[in-house]
Amino acid sequence: MAAAAPDEHKPARRWHIAVFLAPAVLVYTAIMIIPLFSTLVQSLFGPEGGQRVFVGLRNFQTLFGDPRWAASFWNALWNNTWFFIIHMLVQNPVGVLLAAILSNPSLRLRGFYRTAIFVPTILSFVIVGFVWKLILSPLWGVAPNMLDAIGLKHLFAPWLGQEGAALTTLALVSVWQFVGIPMMLIYAALLSIPDEVIEAAEIDGVTGAKQFFKIQLPLILPTIGIISILTFVGNFNAFDLIYVSQGAQAGPNGATDILGTLLYRTFFGFQLQQGDPNMGAAIATMMFLIILVGVSIYLFGIQSRMRRYQF
């Protein structure tokens, strides 16, 4: 009796995929997943009688119910939101504009301009914060002298020391540092548009700015959406620039305090303030939930309805 022929339609098991993915999955789990769940668990515990006991949602009740904690949290959340708004209204539109200009084949030294704009992105937060603090210093900064050289010294003010201007100033410094990222992503998206599409538009008389807004901009909307969500995640995880420029207290008078600096002071303590890891974990959990909600709204409410173009 002849042996049964093997099932020719049975899919082959690709064990090599698991082998190659395993190191990355293990590293990601060790440095991301496990710390995340540890933070979520720690937010549900608290000290009682010198021991760590399960307290449920009591830390969150304190965060939102205690006037002192609630005032600090909502102030930091609003500052984070304003920080994000500045980036959305300034960084991303400027990045799109720069990409549109640099994608023009007739522009000379395009490579030099791209490099010059992108270089600040690779600089350390410590360097950027320290340098801009020196530039904007009313005592030894170069900004007053530069404005004085063109007769505009009366416009200078100690922006980093004013409650109403400090956060906006730091947000614009962050825009200066990171505008190269949306510029490069949009630039790559513009270059990916087929030449046939551009040539057809030119034959129809659609050129210049009209071509960009009518033809190119709709084609790069998915890329702009990705840049927007990256901006959202990055800004609600911000910490370094504020800490370097204004310190852990995020002065003046908490005007630049964001969720990252509030988390740092709460978890580790600062000066006379004693650290509280459980309340710090509660703030970190709220940061995670805010980012999760924002990303989910984009993925399921915006991206799923965004028109996609196939070339």
pLDDT at 90: 97
Alpha helices in the chain, H assignment, sequence order: 15-28, 34-42, 58-65, 67-86, 92-102, 110-118, 125-135, 142-149, 166-178, 180-191, 195-203, 208-211, 217-219, 221-236, 240-246, 259-268, 277-296
Q: Give pLDDT tens digits for 228-279.
A: 999 999 999 999 999 999 998 998 999 999 999 999 999 998 877 788 999 9
- Chain Cα centroid distance, residue 202: 37
Q: Please state, in angstroms and rounded to a whole number, the distance separating the CA atoms of residues 148 and 156.
A: 9
pLDDT one-digit tens code per residue, 277-286: 999 999 999 9
Q: Is the pLDDT of residue 68 over 90?
A: yes
Question: Measured between alpha carbons, how far is residue 271 from residues 192, 250, 254 in Å?
Answer: 53, 13, 15
pLDDT tens-digit series, residues 144-185:
888 888 888 888 899 999 999 999 999 999 999 999 999 999
Q: Cα angle vertex 35, ends 42, 281, to 5°? A: 35
Q: Would you say residue 301 has pLDDT above 90?
A: no
What integer pLDDT is reported at residue 144 of this predicted model? 87
Give the per-residue pLDDT at 8: 58
pTM across the whole model: 0.88
For the residues of 54-111, what is the DSSP string, one character each? E-TTHHHHHHHHSHHHHHHHHHHHHHHHHHHHHIIIIIHHHHHHHHHHHT-TT-TTHH
DSSP 8-state secondary structure symbol assigned to residue 113: H
Q: Which domains are present in the chain?
A: 80-256 (1.10.3720.10)
Confidence of residue 311 (pLDDT cuts 50, 70, 90): very low
Question: 252: cis peptide before it, omega within 30°?
Answer: yes
